[in-house]
Every structure is written in structure tokens, then in C-alpha cells.
Structure 1
Amino acid sequence: MAKIPFLDLKQVNAPCMQSLKAAADDVVESGWYIRGTYCRDFENAFAAYCGASYGVGVGNGLDALTLMLRAEIELGRLDAGDEILVPSNTYIATVLAVSAAGLVPVPVEPDEKTFNIDPTRLESACTKKTRGIMAVHLYGRAADMPRICAFARERGLLVFEDCAQAHGARGVCAGDVSAFSFYPTKNLGALGDAGMVLTNDADLARVVRMLGNYGSEIKYVNKYRGVNSRLDDLQAAFLLAKLPHLKEWNERRREIAARYCQGIKNPLIVLPEIPNPPEEHVWHVFTVRTAEKKIRDALHAYLESHGIGTLVFYPTPPHLQEAYGNVPDAAPCGSGILGKSGDFPIAEKMAETVLSIPVSQVLTDAEVDEIIGAMNAFEL
């Protein structure tokens, strides 16, 4: 392991260890392990934290994305084969969910300053089949939701949000429905898989809940062809124990990000933009760019050799993955091929030139200084 690991989950969970152990004991002793009291309490608490009316816990983040889309289909607001605009540089889960729901993902290039979908490109991506936009708050920065929502209202489109990396970011949950992942590495992470759908739409929340429970609201009465995707009480109890710390953890991440942006002066390294207000970013990762892939790769090797863990989010955009780039989707109303090399040059260039450095709230000031020093000392 690197001297300064990219992320140390044992350290992240250490401040909550006693409450996590107590939560586990309570759940085990309760005798109720799926969709019980802890699940309901966390659904309500997290929905309130994010300013939403309803929260529905599900098995993981991908299920949250898929089920919110499927619910809109069941409610008659979408049809199989409808097109959903998605960022070309997102993690493939965003695209997989659209396909899994029987919809068609249409990639749209990002804004190079924010890494989020570029609102100025939405118009040219729309067709007669476009019915929705999936905004992804990549790296923890809120997408430009006022412009995205205004564009959607003018054209009668639904607005979906992939909030998997944006727990607590100001400006998210502004669309019709949002999906969260609580994968252990997230700003608010479980000790296993977990996810949630947030919305202000009571009908939508009800259908999502039914879809995740075999399509059933009343036992042995199945209205929809649902799946088994439910937030278990053990993970809900862990998340409920950690939720009170989220604001403090996000503030520490902002503090570290600000120090990086102030202290890193290397002309070979392009720093991310700090939004105004800064609360629009929770810095799930701190991602820098270089002019060329060879520089990024050299920086990655240099930092690793100095004991500093780094990761690339993400090395291959969805349209160049074998799942979408070479083999047409065999599912009914599938999305087919997203594109070929050169179709989305901004996403492709980002994949070649981005590198993320440690930004977890458990970093010490001395470690932050060491990382800044290493970044400034890097040369070709």
C-alpha cells in the first residue's frame, strides 16, 4: 500500500467504529433485517438531508438508476425505445441503467471546466425520440441544474440525476428524480452495497418501492415485473450512524481541495475549477489534467514511486467499451452501438489525461503538504 493511499476505508470508518458496532448489534438483536425500522429511518433522514420528500432504499446505485427509469415507464411517462441524453464521459453504470430499462442512451460531450454534461450541447443532441436528460454530478460537482432543468421544461423532457458521487452537494436533487449509491468508497459509504432513489413525486416513489420488491406492494400480489432490490437494515443502520458526520467530512474535503488549488503551481498540471459557491462540490475525487497522455502516465508513475496513491476516473469512456462500442445490444429496444473512436473527442481526451489524487477527509495537513510538494516537484 502507498504511504499515502488513495483512500483508506479503515481510517474513514474509524471515527464511527463504536456507533457502527452498536448499530450492528441492534439490527442483529431486532430480528428484522430487510425494510425494517432502520431502513425506514434512514430513508427519511437522507431524504430530509437532501431536501427531498421521499426516499426509497434499494440494493445498490445501479439499481437506483435503473428502477427510477423503469418507474417512469410504468407510470406512462416514458416508452421503451425513448432516448435519454447522458454525458459521454460518465461511468458506464449510468449508460447500463438506461439500456437495462429498455431506453436508448445518447452521449453528449461534457464541459471541459466542470467535467459535467455541457448544457450548450443538449439542443443539437435532441431528436424526436428524446424524452429525458440524465445529469451526472461527476467527481462530486453539481451539474448546471438551473440550465439543464430550464432546457428540459421548454421541451417537456424529464430530468434524471446520477448523484452517486455527490452526497451533500448543493444544487443536486433539482430534477424529477435522483439516484444515489452508498458504495463503501462514496462520501457517505455503507459497509457493503446500498442505494437510494429520491424524489418529490409520491407516485414515482411508490412504483420504485414496488419494483424493488418483486413488483409487489401487497404480499403475493405482483403488479409489475419487478426485481429483488431492497436496502437491508444492517447497511441502513451503518449509514444512519455515519450521516451526522457527512457535512463535516465534506467541509474537510473542500478545505483540502482549496489547499491543492492554492498550493499546486506546476505548469504541467491543470487544476480543477472550484465552483461558486464552493458548496456545489463535495470533492468525491480531486481530478487534475495534463496536456497529453504521456504526461499523465508519467505523473501517475512519479506519484506512485513517491508513495502517493492515484487513480484514473475513467480510463475508457462508455462508447469505447466493448459492451457498447463493438457489439450491438441484443436486448429488445436496446441502444446498439454508442459510437466509435473519434466520435466524442472531449470524453476521449479526458480519459487519456485525467488523474485523481487523494482528497479523503482523513488526510492530515502534513500529508496534504507532502502531496502538494510532490506535485510541484514533478517534471518530465
Structure 2
Amino acid sequence: MSILPAPPTPIHLLDLRAEHALIQKELDRAVCDTFDEAAFIQGPAVSQFAAELGSYLGGAHVIPCANGTDALTLALMSLQLPAGAEVILPAFTYVATLEAAALLGLRPVLVDVRSDTFNIDTAAVEAAITPRTGAIMAVHLFGQCADLEALRELTTRHSVALIEDNAQAIGATFRFRSGETTYAGTVGEVGTTSFFPSKNLGAMGDGGAMFTRDPARATLLRQLANHGQSQKYHHQHIGLNSRLDTLQAALLRVKLHHLPAATAARQTMAARYDATLAGMSDLLIPVRDARSSHVFHQYTITLAEANRRDELRHFLQRCGVPTMVYYPLPVHAQPAYAYLGYQAGQLPVAERLCGAVLSLPIHPLLTVAQQDYIIECLGTYFGR
């Protein structure tokens, strides 16, 4: 099939250089202020950012830390589970979700995900609960909430904790049958996020945070992230040295102010993709859970014929359209986790998705012309 002429302007999966250029004066001022204060660890911007993000999330306590993996690890540490306790989590996720449990001597129990929303299958979760289950870790994948209604009911009924991996869905909301609407990451005992630069709310380096509505747990998490201490040299717990540095907090304060507009731009682009791609029977557009908003960290299509995914990806690459596969291999197939004993075919939805998903460019500065070109390329490939 023929390759289209080059796109109107170069297309990026993420264009941080351009995004930062729009707010450069604010970012420069934040850097200069941090240098002037010279309080590079636990400077005032850290607590200010935590308070502002907590307000954005509807009044949650926010505990910053060094990165998203530390946030998951600290969240599990705060549960004080016994060695070997089981943690149920999805098989279709980034490895950090699994890694945090394994590092603490807990046993990851993998369950399949829904083929439509890509999020954890709550029926599979319920079937996996045993007397050894200590926690369920839900991942709000690609920007949309997992079924928090069912998860909250399950964790309450079985007296296990809920941890929310919210690295991809900052600002997403979920509406319960009661009419309550709550931010992702603030429903379970602890929610976590990453401020990796590519996230919707990204730093210019590593960073992460934990969320909770429980003041006592917030105190414990702060201690655990700071060598287990509240008072210097007085250690109540075995903890980590996991801090968000002042410079990253100052930059994140600037970017948090612009997050609602960036989210709205992503949602507009996603709606445009939906309207034009829905008629292509060879691919499936992202399915929405009507109870959840979607902040579109990724816009991920699924190929009806999985064996065509790589061919399509190479075609788009030749057209100048970058794409990404999240994730090419399910976590239970990773050599590091062979000890868990899962076999091929045991988690079929996750395995199929790893061969069928493809994420298209979506970021706040993607232009209509660029998006039209991407859509035209897809139409050409599928013979539309």
C-alpha cells in the first residue's frame, strides 16, 4: 500500500519541549525561586505542592515521594502485612505494580483484565480472594478508573485493603450508584501516582506521591518515606529515604495549574479520534465506563486481527506517525516472575491484549491537522 506524503509538521507521541515552551516564564521563575531559597530537600515548595494537589483531589492527604514505584512500595508497607501475604493485581500492567509487592516479600496473585476497558476484572478478583489475601491493587489504566464500586464492596466485605495505582489517571473521577463522585486514587486505603516526565502531570525528573483520606495513615506514610521518622534521629518504623526534591515540587506546582486545560485538550482529541475511527471495523476504539471520566494518558486502540498490529505500526512509522505498545509482554510472562508459576494461556485476555493494543499520539499540543493526517494514514492502511 502507498505511503502518504509527510505530515504537515513532525508528529510526536509526546511533545514536552513545546508544552514547556508555552509556560517557560513560569517554569524559569520556579527554578530561580528554588535556587534563591537554596532549600533543595524538603523546601517550602514540597508542602505547598502537596497541599495544592490535595485540594485538586478533593481534600485528600498527599505525601510526596521519590518516584511511582516507591509510592507503591510505601503504600504496601503502610498496610504492615505479614510476609507471604497475597496481593491481587492485574496481569496487564507495568511491572512496577508487581515489583512493589515482590520486593516486600509479598506474593503477587495475578488476575485477568476486562477486554473492553483493559482494567482489572472484578469477578476474577473475587474468585482469587483467599484467607491469605491482604490487599488488592487496582490499576487505573490509560486514564480511566477501574470499577471502584465493585472493588470497594469486595474489599469491605472481605476485610482487605485497596491500593490504587493511579499513575496514569490523575484527575479522573468515578461516580458511585449513591451519586458520590470521587477522584481516582482517593477511594482505597492508599492511592499512588508517578510524576515521570511523560505522565499527564509530569516532573522534569523522577517523582511520585501517595494519597489517602485517613489522617493516621497519612502520618504513617510520611514517616515511612522519611526513614521511618517524624522527628529527626527518632525512628518509629523501618522506612525508606524517598523524597520529592524541592525543585521538582516547584515545577510540578506550575504544571498542576495547567493540568485541567491539558486534560480537556486530551479529551477533545480523544472524542475526535472516536468520531472518525469508530467506523473502521478492523479496529476497536477505547471503550468508556460511563461511571468514569477518562483523562487519556494514552489513546489505545485494539486491532481486531492481532497479527496485523506490528504491520500497522511499521506502516504508520513509515508515514511519520509514532506509536507505542503498552505492553508487549504480560507480567506473568516476564522471566523475573516465572517463580509465580503462571503458564501461557492462563490469563488469556492480558495475553491477547499484549499482541493487539496500539497507542496513538495524544498530547495537549497535537494539532487538528496532525490528527487528521494520523486518521488518514489509518484509513489508507485499512482501505477506507
User: Under TM normalisation by the shorter chain, which class is it?
Assistant: over 0.9
The one of 34, 38, 42 equivalent to 2:45 is 38
Q: How far apart are the structure 2 equivalents of 1:178 and 1:294?
A: 36
Letter in 1 for 2:367: T
1:280-321 CA distances to partner (integer Å, 9 max, x unpaired)?
A: 110000001113332101110111110001000010111001
C-alpha deviation, 1:232, in angstroms: 0.6
* TM-score of the aligned structures, taking structure 2 as reference length: 0.92
Q: In the alignment, what sits opposite 1:203?
A: 216
CA deviations on 1:211-246 (whole Å, 9 max, x unpaired) are 221122211122222221101110000000111111
CA distance in 1, matches of 2:328, 2:215: 39
Give me the TM-score of the superposition, normalised by structure 1.
0.93
Please state how far the C-alpha of 1:84 moved relative to its aligned partner.
Answer: 1.2
Alignment partners' CA distance in 1, 2:255 and 2:59: 19
Cα distance, 1:338 vs. partner?
5.0
| Coordinate RMSD, CA, aligned | 1.5
Q: Which residue of 2 aligns with 1:285?
A: 298
CA-CA distance at 1:275 after TM superposition: 3.4
Corresponding residue for residue 266 of structure 2: 253
In the alignment, residue 42 of structure 1 is paired with which amino acid? F
The aligned counterpart of 1:128 is 131
Note the 1:48-67 alignment, pairs <5 A: 48-67=55-74
8 Å CA contact retained: 1:85, 1:108: yes
1:23-34 to 2 correspondences below 5 Å: 23-34=30-41
1:270 to 284, 303, 310: 284
CA pair 110-100 structure 1, distance change in 2 beyond 3 A: same
Residues 167, 199 of structure 2: 8 Å contact kept = yes
Contact 1:6 1:357 in 2 (8 A): yes
**Which one-letter code corresponds to 1:146 in the other structure?**
E
CA distance in 2, matches of 1:297, 1:321: 20
Separation in structure 2 between the aligned mates of residue 162 and residue 144 of structure 1, nearest angstrom: 13
Aligned to 1:348: 351
Question: Corresponding residue for 2:22?
Answer: 15
Report the Cα offset of residue 123 of structure 1. Answer: 1.7
Tell me if the contact between 2:163 and 2:188 (Cα under 8 Å) persists in the aligned partners.
Answer: yes
Name stretches of at least 5 consecutive residues in structure 2 with no aligned partner. Answer: 1-5, 175-183
Residue matched to 2:256: 243
CA contact (8 A) 1:292 1:352 kept: no
Shift of 1:376: 1.5
Counterpart of 1:345, as a letter, is P
Count of residue correspondences: 365
How many Å apart are 1:53 and its aligned residue?
3.0
Q: Which amino acid is the alignment partner of residue 268 of structure 1?
A: D
Alignment-mate amino acid for residue 171 of structure 2 = G
Amino acid corresponding to residue 21 of structure 2 in structure 1: A
Q: How does 1:296-375 map to 2 (within 5 A)?
A: 296-325=309-338, 328=339, 337=340, 339-375=342-378
Q: Give the aligned residue type for 2:97.
A: T
Change (3 A) 1:58 1:338: farther
Kindly indicate whether the alpha-carbon contact (under 8 Å) linking 1:52 and 1:198 is maintained by their aligned counterparts in 2.
no
Q: Is the 8 A contact 2:87 2:137 kept in 1?
A: yes
Q: Which runs of 5+ in 1 are unaligned?
A: 329-336
2: CA distance, partners of 1:269 / 1:257: 15
> Alpha-carbon deviation of 1:122?
1.7
Provide the rounded CA distance (Å) in 2 between the counterparts of 1:147 and 1:65. Answer: 21
Partner SS, residue 39 of structure 1: helix
* Partner residue of 1:169 out of 158, 169, 172: 172
